[in-house]
């Protein structure tokens, strides 16, 4: 009997070692009492999830649900066993449906279309790559493209708790030579359950190498930049998810540090030195928490490796891929305020979000609370042992994707990241973004094409030229080009180039121009379309000085700010709006029945609580 009991206990122990705690998808309604900072102060991991205006959805363990219950925070279980849900969803997902569904992404501008790299493939872990498969893909890349990619190399002699190295790979036109070119670093999988992130980085690595000989833009980037990649920062945690859930769906987040008492793991993205342990809202001192920060900054071999890796290089950009939430997060998280370079961060994030509409900002502006000990804060803020790095964290994937997106979403998410990766690389060279801001309707035979130009490239010895070319034959003349050699980084400048049209144009004639910016080494062109109409009529206009033609619905006239004059229509004249406020202003005095084409122009400003409130124009 004693032998039987010992054997039985041993079996139970063996099962517990290789089984994860159960997880559920939950929805928490947000209000004045239940806020994102309050959830974070309990040690809950809330930086990933579906952040909506009035609620928050994410995957919580049974222990985390018990914590919610203890603190009397109501929640609704959406999916009881989300680990099982992830695995079964991918098991039933058809690879044949990928091509038909891969571009079913909501974007506010048409996204670029990329030819899928031949080196891209799905993995054996619920269509995601296992850790060994990631290493094999790195090895294959070096074998296939020895003139562009180094072999994978360990960062120093660092070993994880379970004896693994942290590997990196470099891509450049002379990969084994330090050519003193601008350097950029891409990393992924600080958190083990974010399996889409290594896949995205490998997609980009193969895309660069496979298109080097046929795409002049790619060749320019690879010839002038040194690309460094760390596809898996947390190999122990990543491998643990494969061990417990070989078909995908594992939700282990931290590394596998044995913290004692049968408790494992440190959140690597709370373990960097700058701002480490600043407070107990942005990270947790509790080893049970998924946001546990460790015993000190850089206490973990994984973050020590990343620290040394950055210190021995001259990285100007650092990109840390995470999932999910459709966000772009930048410093400074631990102070909850914008950094000195926030103008530049906002400028280039605006361009990165053109096709995916990601929300961007610091932690407090995106996830709704501050964090500390994050990679972004240290990469940007540490400037003694290394240069300043413009650090950014894309949170890729929406609430439906979760931590383990469906198979037919893997490729679209890789393409989504590919645009951001390529665009970020351009910022290391001479690069300027140009945006057409011309009204779409022109009522005269002469006018101006108005544009914004923004210097985003870090190289200082530039001379940008903006030209306008006629595409439509009805355009009679074009003004002279404009030159720029002293633009402040990230600051938007507005300018224009004149045009003259032929006489006798019919109403609603479409006129197209090519608006180009270049400096000799790069060139980008945008097609501008306007419509001619010589009997333009304002069918509705308001200077906001009265409620004429408006149904106020709770709004007031604010006399402290305005576009023309000092008036605006405001939800509240001063102070904060009341709790649970819901007001609107409407008009039905717009008749477009006789119109061929119409345009709505308006100005607005707002200040509201993050993740709780919203304003919209319908």
What amino acid positions are annotated as catalytic residues?
395
Nearest to 373, CA basis, from 461, 466, 300: 300
DSSP 479: P
Cβ–Cβ under 8 Å, residues 48 and 195: no
DSSP state of 127: B
CA atoms within 13 A on the CB side of 150: 19
**Residue 43 CA, distance from chain mean position:** 24
Task: Provide φ and ψ at 16, rounded to 5°.
Answer: -70, -30
- DSSP output for 270-307: G-SSTTTTS-SSSSBS-TTSTTB--SSTT-SHHHHHHH
542, 550 Cβ separation under 8 angstroms: yes
Number of continuous H segments (helices) and E segments (strands) in the chain: 14, 25
CA distance 324 to 185: 20
CB-based contact 127:410 (threshold 8 Å)? yes
SS3 labels along 484-523: ECCCCCCCEEEEEEEEEECCCCCCCEEEEEEEEEECCCCE
CA distances to 144, 242, 408 from 273, rounded to whole Å, are 38, 30, 38
If one counts every other C-beta atom within 10 angstroms of the C-beta of residue 448, the result is 15
Among all chains, which residue has been given the structure tokens 């790559």? 129
Distance CA 524, CA 538 (A): 35
Q: Which residue has the tokens 């950055």?
A: 310
């Amino acid at each position: 009997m004693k032998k039987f009991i010992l054997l039985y206990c041993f079996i139970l122990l063996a099962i517990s070692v290789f089984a994860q705690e159960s997880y559920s998808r939950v929805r928490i309604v947000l209000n004045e009492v239940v806020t994102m900072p309050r959830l974070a102060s309990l040690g809950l991991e809330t930086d990933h999830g579906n952040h909506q205006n009035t609620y928050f959805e994410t995957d919580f363990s049974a222990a985390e649900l018990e914590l919610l219950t203890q603190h009397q925070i109501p929640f609704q279980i959406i999916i009881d066993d989300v680990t099982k849900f992830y695995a079964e969803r991918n098991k039933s997902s058809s690879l044949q449906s990928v091509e038909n569904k891969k571009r079913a992404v909501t974007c506010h501008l048409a996204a670029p279309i990329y030819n899928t790299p031949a080196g891209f493939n799905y993995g054996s872990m619920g269509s995601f790559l296992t850790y060994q498969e990631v290493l094999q893909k790195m090895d294959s890349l070096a074998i296939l493209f020895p003139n562009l990619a180094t072999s994978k190399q360990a960062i120093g002699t660092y070993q994880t708790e379970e004896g693994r190295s942290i590997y990196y790979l470099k891509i450049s036109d002379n990969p084994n030579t330090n050519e003193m070119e601008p350097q950029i670093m891409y990393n992924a999988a600080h958190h083990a359950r974010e399996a889409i992130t290594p896949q995205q980085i490998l997609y980009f690595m193969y895309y660069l190498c496979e298109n080097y000989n046929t795409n002049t833009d790619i060749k320019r980037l690879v010839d002038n930049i040194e690309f460094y990649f760390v596809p898996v920062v947390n190999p122990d945690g990543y491998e643990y998810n494969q061990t417990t859930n070989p078909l995908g769906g594992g939700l282990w987040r931290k590394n596998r540090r044995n913290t004692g008492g049968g408790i494992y793991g440190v959140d690597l993205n709370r373990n960097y030195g700058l701002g480490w342990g600043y407070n107990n809202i942005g990270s947790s001192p509790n080893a049970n928490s998924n946001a546990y920060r460790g015993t000190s900054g850089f206490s973990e071999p994984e973050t020590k490796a990343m620290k040394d890796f950055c210190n021995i290089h001259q990285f100007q950009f650092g990109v840390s891929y995470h999932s999910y939430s459709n966000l772009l997060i930048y410093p400074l998280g631990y102070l909850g305020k914008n950094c000195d370079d926030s103008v530049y961060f906002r400028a280039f994030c605006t361009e990165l979000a053109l096709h995916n509409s990601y929300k961007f900002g610091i932690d407090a502006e995106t996830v709704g609370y501050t964090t500390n000990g994050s990679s972004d804060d240290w990469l940007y803020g540490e400037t003694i042992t290394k240069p300043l790095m413009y650090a950014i964290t894309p949170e890729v994937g929406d609430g439906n994707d979760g931590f383990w997106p469906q198979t037919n979403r893997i490729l679209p998410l890789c393409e989504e990241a590919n645009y951001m990766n390529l665009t970020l690389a351009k910022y290391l060279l001479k690069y300027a973004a140009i945006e057409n801001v011309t009204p779409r309707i022109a009522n005269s035979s002469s006018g101006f094409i108005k544009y914004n130009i923004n210097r985003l490239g870090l190289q200082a010895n530039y001379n940008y030229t903006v030209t306008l070319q006629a595409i439509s034959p009805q355009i009679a003349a074009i003004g002279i080009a404009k030159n720029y050699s002293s633009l402040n980084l990230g600051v938007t400048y507005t300018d224009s180039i004149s045009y003259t049209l032929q006489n006798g144009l019919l109403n609603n004639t479409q006129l197209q121009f090519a608006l180009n910016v270049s400096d000799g080494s790069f060139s980008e062109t945008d097609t501008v379309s306007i419509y001619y109409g010589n009997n333009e009529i304002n069918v509705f206009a308001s200077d906001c000085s009265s409620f004429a033609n408006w149904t106020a619905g709770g709004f007031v006239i604010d006399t402290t700010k305005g576009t023309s004059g000092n008036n605006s229509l405001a939800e509240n004249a001063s102070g904060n709006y009341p709790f649970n406020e819901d007001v609107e202003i409407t008009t039905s005095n717009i008749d477009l029945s006789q119109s061929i084409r119409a345009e709505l122009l308006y100005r607005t400003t707002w200040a509201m609580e993050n993740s709780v409130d919203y304003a919209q124009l319908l």
